[in-house]
Copies of this chain bind each other. A is one copy, B any other.
Amino acid sequence: MQNSMPPLSALRAFEATARLGSVTAAAEELSVTHGAVSRQLKSLDEHFGVALFSKAGRGIVLTPHGEKLQSGLSEAFSKLRDSCAALKRDVEEAPFTLACPGSLLARWLIPRLDRLHRELPELKLKVVVSDTEQPGKQTDASATLAFSEPPWPADVDVIELIPEQICAVASPQLAAQLDPADPQTLFSTQLLYTASRPQAWPQWASAQGLEQAQLEAALSEGQGFEHLYYLMEAAVAGLGVAIAPTLLVEDDLKSGRLVAPWGSIETSARLCLWLPNQTNNHRSEPLAKWLKSELKTAS
């Protein structure tokens, strides 16, 4: 039974040729040369031990045997195509769920969400707040957007978007008391930070050439917040100098609610798109591309 099945590619070539009535046309449909199709047809003839086409003028026509085969195959192949198309449609019409930390969601993604929807409508994007520290483990999300540091686990796809930059920000009033040329003046204020990024201040300080001991002393008198939202409000209120990803405070810097006296520094972390399963790449690729271009124009 099984050994009686000819190569499937030959059957496909036959079906296309029979349907179109031309080797050349079938070759075009299958994106190969007519020679390739011709060989496939010959191999089918040999497999079945009977001619399926005969020459007619400069073209070909089906023999009775060929017609019989065609009538069955065309049905089978159209069912095959339908099944694949149906699955593909199902997959593509399902919403693409992007998980994202609340701070990134609120301060960067949501302002761009409308344009994203308009420019990639076929994604049917839904966004959710990521509920775990491990970006790859979010099983109900198609992808996760997050800042994270290499190395990444081998069993997930991680697309690097841009390096993370962080900056120290303060209200304009407070900044007026600080020296843009001397980061040291920072220590005259209270240090503000989020609990989720304890390494931010040390990284910044080390990049600015500040003493580690002095920083630690200042940090112990500093103030931590649960969420970036509160941190920003505290900074705006002039409670002290906050450390935050530059990407998330750009709007505040532009509007003048906050200033960053000493500029930004780059960290070893990256803004990444995590793809938990190795699959649905063609849906995530346009998203990754969009994110990259969006991040490029913004900077």
Contacts and interface: CB of A to CB of B under 8 A. Distances in A.
A48 to B, nearest CB: 6
B87 A80 contact: no
Interface residues of A, number: 45
Nearest to A79: B76
A30 B79 CA distance: 22
B72 A79 contact: yes
A127 B288 CA distance: 72
A294 interface: no
B88 A4 contact: yes
Contact of A87 (B48, B76, B77, B86): B48
Contacts of A86: 68, 72
Nearest to A280: B49
A76 B65 contact: no
A217 interface: no
Contacts of A82: 72
Nearest to A89: B4
A147 B279 CA distance: 65
A83 B73 contact: yes
Interface string A48-74: 111100000000000001001100110
Contacts of A179: none
Nearest to A72: B83
B85 A277 contact: no
Interface string A1-24: 110111011011000000000000
18 contacts: A1-B81, A2-B31, A9-B9, A46-B279, A48-B91, A49-B279, A49-B281, A49-B283, A50-B91, A50-B279, A65-B90, A68-B86, A68-B90, A72-B79, A72-B83, A76-B76, A76-B77, A79-B79
Interface of A: 1-2, 4-6, 8-9, 11-12, 29-31, 45-46, 48-51, 65, 68-69, 72-73, 75-77, 79-88, 90-91, 277-283
